[in-house]
Amino acid sequence: MASATAPTAGEFLPQLDVDGPAPQSRVTVFFRLILLIPQWFVLIFVSIAAFFVQVIGWFAALFMGRLPDWAAEFLTGYLSWWTRVSAYGTLLVDQYPPFAMRAPDYTVRIEVRPGPLNRLAVFFRFILLIPAAILSALLSYGWQVAGFVIWLFVLINGSMPQALFEATAAVQRYAMRYNAYVMLLTSAYPKGPFGDQDSPQAAQPRASATRPLLVSSNGRTLLIVFIVLGVVGYLAQTSLQLNR
C-alpha cells in the first residue's frame, strides 16, 4: 500500500494561473479592503455550505475512495472563488473578482482534477495536513504583517514589482494547494512553496505567469522574510494574549 503522503502515478498537483503583473488603479488599491467587503459577506455563507459539503464528502470518500461528483464540483467552485478574492486582496490583480463559482475568463484561475483518493490518507487527513497548515499559515500571516508596506508600495508605484508578484503568487498558490488537499480535491500533498524552478515543471512551456511559477532569488528572499515575519508575529500575538 502506498504511504499516505507519497505521490502516486498520475497524481495531479493543483495549478494556479495568474496573468503577469500589470499596472493597477491607485484608486482601487487605496480602497481595496472596502471593495472586498461584499465578497467577504457572500463568501461567509458560501463557506458555511462548503463546510457541510466537505464533511459529507469526507465520509463519502472513506467509502467510495473519491469525492462524489457533486461535492467535487461545488468545492472546486468554492475554492476557485476563494482564490480569486484572495488574489485580489493581496494585490496580485486589479480586476474585481466576479460573484461566481466559475469564472474561466478571469485573470486568476485554478485547475484541480479530483480523482481517486487513498482511504488511509482521507481518514488521517487532518493529521497529515499539520505541517502544510503551519507553513501555509506562516506564509499568509507573514504577508499580512508586511501587508501595509506592500499596499503602500503598490499604491505609490501603481504596480507590483516582479519579485513581490512572484512571492505573493507563491503564497497564494501554496494556500490554494493546501485548501485543495483539505477539501479532498486532490491526493497530492501541497508542494512548491518556493516555486517550480527546481522541479521538472520548470522545463514545461509557460501557460501563464505562474505556471510554472519561477521564483527569482529576490522572490525567494521575500518568501523567507514572510515566514520569519509570520513566526515573529505569531509569537508577539501569543505573548500579548498571555500577558493580558
State the pTM of this model: 0.92
For residue 22, give the C-alpha cell: 500589470
* 23-74 residue pLDDT tens: 999 999 999 999 999 999 999 999 999 999 999 999 999 999 999 999 999 9
State the chain's maximal CA–CA distance in angstroms. 55
Over residues 61-88, mean pLDDT? 97
Average pLDDT of the chain, as a whole number: 92
**Residue 63: other Cβ atoms inside 10 A:** 9
User: For residues 25 and 132, what is the distance between their CA atoms, to the nearest angstrom?
Assistant: 34
For residue 140, give the C-alpha cell: 499568509
User: For residues 99 and 136, what is the distance between their CA atoms, to the nearest angstrom?
Assistant: 25
Over residues 211-229, mean pLDDT? 96
